[in-house]
Structure 1
Amino acid sequence: MMDSALTEDRIEAAEAPVALRVRAPGTIRSVDRALDLLEVLSRSGGALALSEISARSGLNASTCHHLLATLAARGYISQNGRSREYMIGNKVFDLSDARARQFNLIEVAMPRLRALNEATREAVHLAVIQARELITVAKLDSLHAVKVDSGFVGKSNAAHATASGKAILAWLPEPEQRAIAEAKGLDAFTENTITGLDALRAELALVRRHGVAYDREEFQPGVICIGAAIRNHTGGVIASVSCSTPTMRASDEGLARVEELVKAAAAELSQELGSRSPA
């Protein structure tokens, strides 16, 4: 039986040049290449034949075959018995689920919240919807001498009236949107609050179209808030980040800047949580 190290050496000697990617010093080449193959499959959008994997990875077919066989034996990829094409295996999803269970949303988000707070000098919030309740789980107050009441950490029945709530509601299935509206009501907090389900649906359609939610004095007079959704590794919306500013500082130019900063913070957090979905 041929020694495994010798087998790998012969495979490497015969292969074509690999993709021109700088590899970190001190790494194990075979492990690095196996991860290259996983990344090729993860970006493919479907199953791939051995020849296609070889072409995309820059590794020869023999090397790919050996690495794929090892990954398949551990469940990280699977192979269609008829087409012989390869795809991501269930073990990868197990790892993704484990990562999701391990992360602390507030801990992960806090550096981004602080950066947004410092860049805008306005109040920022991190919110989730759980059991049909809008819950602000973290907030940072404005750095200005004149500031708005940035609310409190805890539950609120104002998902329909806040940017943080609408940023999440917009991406929920319509039956869930309706269930939340019916369970919590569409109470009027100001004369600008949306209190009709049809009007709320139209507003949420705009949120989906533009990737950002606005609260234009709908929850609190004299306050405008801008929010954007945060996605996890499955692409699902799990939270929102928002920024509140008093109308006295809300110029068109200033709001446009805050909007871009909020969207960027949400996108960066989503990426950190493993999302590849667009905002």
Structure 2
Amino acid sequence: METSTTSSRAFLAGEAGEAAPLGTLERGLYLLGLFSTERPEWTLRELREESQLPKATVRRLMLTLERLGWVEQDVAGNYALGPRMLQSLYAKTSASVLVSEARPYLERLAQSTTESALLSVWGHEGTLSLDLVTTERHFKPFTSAGMVVHGLMSADAKVLVAFAPEMLWDARYASLSQAMPAGVTVDSMRAKWREVRAAGVAFDNEEWKPGVCAVAAPVLGADGFVLASISLVIPSERGGKQELERYAAAVRDAAAALSRVHIERNQALGMTPDDGDSQG
């Protein structure tokens, strides 16, 4: 009996060695479809063996996908999905339960502070902005829903790493080490992430972008690990110590309230922490 995998491989190979008119597109999509939460990384050899496509074909397709941002290759030669995939998935993500649940909290946070409120999750090269509520103030954040904020220095990135399982810290630093400011090491970042965990909040004092400050807090799942971050993004002229402390309290309260609502909803539906809810 022919399995679906065997059928897919035969389809990719084409009939009598001839590719269908859309063969290149179909084969590229097939390779992208191999990436999953259970198998987020593949080497070129593994992709070739799984697809049974010629080595030259797999190499050419992966080079094209990498050039266009659909996949990325690390220094060890492992491929993973790239930022273009995250951005394309925004339309799906924006309709998710978490985004719907978070929207009222973002709106209330923006209204009470008169600053822009942002919801983010961890992406492959930094944070992925899921939703943004702005105010009538002149200042607008240098981000938008669906945008990947690269690096580890933003308030959201600090929170999303700090409250992820500690076993992931070194890997997340390594994946973005080339973009780190001079003098910032993995040890100094690990110390910073521990400070963020202890404080329950992270600050960005123009570290991501000059003229922009931010404060972020984690939205946690029932397992205690991070699902997302809520932040306020503000201009540096309103980012004094007293203002940031006031904003921190508001952000922390909003994130904690959203965490409770999300956990209670999942419990009511019979979901557990093992259902893959957290960003860890």
TM-score by length of 2: 0.56
Runs (5+) with no aligned partner, structure 2: 1-94, 268-280
Residue 236 (structure 1) aligns with: 225
1:176 aligns with 2:168: yes
Aligned residue identity for 1:135: L
Residue 115 (structure 2) aligns with: 122
CA distance in 2, matches of 1:245, 1:172: 25
How many corresponding residue pairs?
A: 171
Deviation at 1:212, TM superposition (A): 0.3
Residue 105 (structure 2) aligns with: 112
Assess if the C-alpha contact under 8 Å between 2:119 and 2:132 holds in 1: yes
The 3-state SS of whatever aligns with 1:161 is coil
Residue 137 (structure 1) aligns with: 130
Note the alpha carbon deviations across 1:45-91, whole angstroms, 9 max, x for none: xxxxxxxxxxxxxxxxxxxxxxxxxxxxxxxxxxxxxxxxxxxxxxx
Deviation at 1:207, TM superposition (A): 0.2
Residue 266 (structure 1) aligns with: 255
Deviation at 1:159, TM superposition (A): 4.5
CA distance in 2, matches of 1:159, 1:272: 30
Aligned residue identity for 1:128: V
CA distance in 1, matches of 2:96, 2:129: 18
Note the alpha carbon deviations across 1:228-268, whole angstroms, 9 max, x for none: 00012333211000001111112332222111000000000
Residue 152 (structure 2) aligns with: 160
Deviation at 1:131, TM superposition (A): 4.8
CA distance in 1, matches of 2:193, 2:135: 27
Residue 196 (structure 1) aligns with: 185
Deviation at 1:224, TM superposition (A): 1.1
Aligned residue identity for 2:243: G
Larger Rg: 1
Deviation at 1:103, TM superposition (A): 6.4
CA distance in 2, matches of 1:215, 1:238: 20
Runs (5+) with no aligned partner, structure 1: 1-101
Q: Following TM superposition, where does structure 1 have runs of at least 4 consecutive aligned residues deviating by more than 4 angstroms?
A: 130-133
CA distance in 1, matches of 2:135, 2:178: 28
Residue 26 (structure 1) aligns with: none
Deviation at 1:182, TM superposition (A): 1.5
Assess if the C-alpha contact under 8 Å between 1:161 and 1:194 holds in 2: no
Deviation at 1:174, TM superposition (A): 2.9
Note the alpha carbon deviations across 1:182-226, whole angstroms, 9 max, x for none: 2233514xx7x8732121111111101111001111001011100
1:89-108 superposed matches below 5 A: 104-108=97-101
Assess if the C-alpha contact under 8 Å between 2:127 and 2:148 holds in 1: yes
CA distance in 1, matches of 2:171, 2:102: 28
Assess if the C-alpha contact under 8 Å between 2:141 and 2:233 holds in 1: no
1:214 aligns with 2:207: no
TM-score by length of 1: 0.56
Assess if the C-alpha contact under 8 Å between 1:129 and 1:168 holds in 2: yes
CA distance in 1, matches of 2:229, 2:109: 13
Aligned residue identity for 1:152: S
Aligned residue identity for 1:117: A
Aligned residue identity for 2:111: E
1:250 aligns with 2:239: yes
Aligned residue identity for 1:149: P
CA distance in 1, matches of 2:238, 2:122: 29
Aligned residue identity for 2:100: E
Assess if the C-alpha contact under 8 Å between 1:141 and 1:150 holds in 2: no
